Structures are given as structure tokens and as C-alpha cells.
Amino acid sequence: MILILVRTIFLYLLVLIVMRFMGKREISQLQPFELVISIMIADLATTPMSETGIPILYGIIPILGLLMMHIIISIINLKSIRIREIICGKPRILIFRGRIDEKAMQKENFTITELEARLRVNGAYNLEDVEYAILETSGQITVIPKPNKRGTTPEDFGIEPEYVGMSYDLVIDGKVLTDNLVKLGKDYNWLKKQVGQFHMRPEEALVVVLSGDGSMFCQRKEEK
């Protein structure tokens, strides 16, 4: 029983590391070759995890081999557009200038019902509102609405909004995030002074966030 537990923990950590090396894509954003490798890795890890009679190396070596294949294919994809199209495919336009492309739909085995459902997920509730719908290689659909149906932007009214940078977490659960302070060119004494305006010390804060516009959000941890 202990041996199975140890093997399970080891293989879990190994798969976790391998998947970390494969990047941060969501499942819905995986390319076909990435999805295949992910499924195979999960399957390879399961057998030696539960079968103590199978040497654990029988799981480790194939998993590392798949990681190498992933790295090699990723490098090839970066170097060659042609090979990338063969491995990952090409985006396909399902709706072109407001008209559904039936041939493209048939090639991708897409039904009208499925297309409408995917459009609704993207906020397009009526087919007549869509100018272009593009099926990406990841399986997601990019929707470009017709000009009269898209949301207005400040640019449409000749307005130039003020630039707002990104927000930075400075304290999380009482822990000061020094790296973010360094990025901002600040130090602990500055943070202590800012948080002091909320009548607390940084270590007493649940969260402290410096917004892009310079405003600060601070909330005290609840006493246990």
C-alpha cells in the first residue's frame, strides 16, 4: 500500500512537471498534437501507478519521451509554417461577409445548431449580426460582428482615454510581495507608509493592490 502511494506521488509530480514544461494553455486552447500527448501521458502514468509489478521506469521513460516529442514538434512549428499547417491545421472561415460557407461547415463537420451555440458563447446571439466567424486551430471560434453591431469605443467619439497601467499585488494574506515592489521602484518603508493610511501594517492586510491609476485597495485580515 505504501509502495503504491509513493509511486503515485512520484508519478503525479513527474506529470505535473512535464505538463508545466508544455506551457500554460487551457484544455480548450490545446493544439491537436498537444491534446494527444496530454492524453497519452495521463494513460502512461496510470498503469505503473497502480500496478506495482510494472517497473516505474516503464512509465517514466515514455513520459519523458513524449515531452521530448512535444519540444521537438513545438520547435518545428516555430520554424516552418508549412509543417505547422500540416500538424495544427489552418483556421477556417465559417461565415464570410455575413454568409455561412456551407462547404467549410461540411469539411469541419459543423452543424448550424452547433455554430449558433458557439456564436452565442461569444456574445453573438443572432446570425445576421455576424460578419465573420473563424474556426481557429484550437477549436475556438473568433467572431467579428458587423460594423453596426459592434460595441462603441472611445475612438468612435474622438476621445483619447487616459493611459492606465496594470495593477500590482503588493500584499497577499499578510505576505509582502517584494518582487512587485522592486518592479515599481518602491521599498517596504514606502509600502508601510501607504498601508498605514488604512490604520494597519502590511503584515495585517489580507490584500493590498496598487491599481494602474495609482489608487490603492487594502483590506485587513479577519482575526481568528
Residue 72 clears pLDDT 60, i.e. is over it = yes
Q: What is the pLDDT of residues 118-139, one digit of tens each?
A: 999 998 888 899 999 999 887 8
CA 73/CA 23 separation, integer angstroms: 14
CA 145/CA 36 separation, integer angstroms: 33
CA 162/CA 207 separation, integer angstroms: 26
Work out the pLDDT band at 116, boundaries 50, 70, 90: very high
Domains of the chain plus CATH, in order, are 2-86 (no CATH), 92-149 (3.30.240.20), 168-220 (3.30.240.20)
0.85 exceeded by the pTM?
A: no
